Amino acid sequence: MKERPTFPARLDFTVGKPKASRPATGHAHSVLSQGGRPPVGVLSQGVGLDSSAVRMNMVHKLAGQGITDPLVLAAMRTIERHRFVDSALVNQAYEDTSLPIGLGQTISKPGVVSRMAELLRNGASGRLGRVLEIGTGCGYQAAVLSLLAQEVYSIERLRGLHDKARENLRHLRLANLHLLFGDGMAGYAKGAPYAAIIAAAGGESVPQAWVDQLAMGGRLVAPVSAGATAAGQQALVVIDKTPQGIRQTVLEAVHFVPLKSGIA
Ligand code: SAH
């Protein structure tokens, strides 16, 4: 691909540059040429400036795909997606693709994260109030949401991913993001009512608990299978809770991991 980000190449360049804080032995160079990829410690030192340029490129593409909400674009520019994926996948972190995050789950494509965030915000001028996310996964979308809302509650049913998200998010110190371990099918009543609810896993229908926990005037965005499109296909569904009742809109087809019951 012609447009492939210059991320890995620039990364190598940065890492290879002598730095005052490292002994100028050429050690970093030899590690690089053997492994083809800098070790994680070196990566996190060298990646700063360069990854922001690659992220900016990603944001331009998102804008080109029709994302217009300035807060969403700013959040996508700010949160470093490469910190949420396995080091072996770092050079794909800013491509518009979902990537494995372990335990059979995936981090959503930036295009889908920003699309859902924009739908969720529904043109709000400032930050949303309280938001509930079902399916923390690696924590990337939760981090994005934390910049778009006053409080974010994110729930994950797999202990391994809940722990991984905590680890991934530690450096960001997002005081308004609350990670919960549990079955998100039941929502999280203690944080209700929510201005917005977003699901990162798709079920046959939207659990009633989510609709119940939505504030009046609130919006829910979720991938849903049954009845939405042809059998077995998922589509994004938007549910608005209005004084006149529940309004449901079915949007484009999507591919999310399944919403499952219980914890593991
Ligand atoms: N937003 C995540 C996407 C993770 S994939 C990210 O940015 O990485 C969806 C996640 O939903 C998976 O981790 C899966 O384990 C989780 N999930 C599925 N059913 C769930 C449920 N009932 N409660 C909580 N999490 C659930």
Q: What is the pLDDT of residues 118-139, one digit of tens each?
A: 999 999 999 999 999 999 999 9
| Residue 261, domain member (yes or no) | no
DSSP-derived letter for residue 87 is: G
Q: Looking at ligand 1, which residue's alpha carbon is closest to its atom 14?
A: 135
Is residue 67 assigned to a domain?
yes
Q: Ligand 1 center to residue 28 CA distance, Å?
A: 37
Which of helix, strand or coil describes residue 199?
A: strand
Using the mean position of ligand 1's atoms as its centre, give its distance from the Cα of residue 33 in Å. Answer: 37
Distance, CA of 193 to CA of 212 (rounded, Å) = 8
**Residue 223 falls within a domain, yes or no?**
yes
How remote is the CA of residue 59 from the centroid of ligand 1, in Å? 24
108 catalytic per annotation: yes
Q: Which of 113, 179, 198, 257 to mutate to test the pocket of ligand 1 (most atoms within 8 A of CB)?
A: 257
Q: Does 80 reside within a domain?
A: yes
Residue 3 lies in a domain: no
Looking at the CA of residue 107, tell me the nearest atom of ligand 1: 8
pLDDT at position 22: 38
CATH code for the domain in which residue 165 is found: 3.40.50.150
- Residue 24 is given by DSSP the state S
The mean pLDDT of 145-156, rounded to a whole number, is 98
Count of domains in the chain?
A: 1
C-alpha 64/C-alpha 198 separation (Å) is 24
Q: Is 85 in the pocket of ligand 1 (CB under 6 A)?
A: no
Q: Is the CB of 62 under 6 A from ligand 1?
A: no
Residue 112 sits in which domain range? 28-254
Q: Which of 33, 51, 98, 108 is catalytic?
A: 108
Does any ligand 1 atom lie closer than 6 A to the CB of residue 61?
no
User: Tens of pLDDT along 52-62?
Assistant: 999 999 999 99
Atom of ligand 1 nearest to the CA of 106: 5
| The predicted structure's pLDDT at residue 17 | 32
Helix axes 48-64, 70-78, angle to 10 degrees: 150
Cα 195 to middle of ligand 1, angstroms:
20
Q: Within a domain: residue 156?
A: yes
Indicate the pTM of the whole model: 0.84
What is the rounded CA–CA span in Å between residue 59 and residue 114?
Answer: 10
**pLDDT level of residue 39 (50, 70, 90 thresholds):** very low
Sign of CA dihedral 86, 92, 95, 99: negative
pLDDT at 161: 98
Does any domain span residue 209?
yes
Angle at 137 between CA 129 and CA 231, to 5 degrees: 95
CA of 25 to the centre of ligand 1 (A): 45
Q: Which atom of ligand 1 is nearest to the CA of 135?
A: 11
- Beta carbon of 141 within 6 Å of any ligand 1 atom: yes
Cα dist from 81 to 20, 53, 186, 211, 223, whole Å: 28, 13, 29, 30, 22
For ligand 1, what atom is nearest to the CA of residue 158? 15
* Residue 129 structure tokens: 């109030």
Bridge-based pairing of strands 234-242 and 177-181 is: unpaired
What pLDDT is attached to residue 108? 96
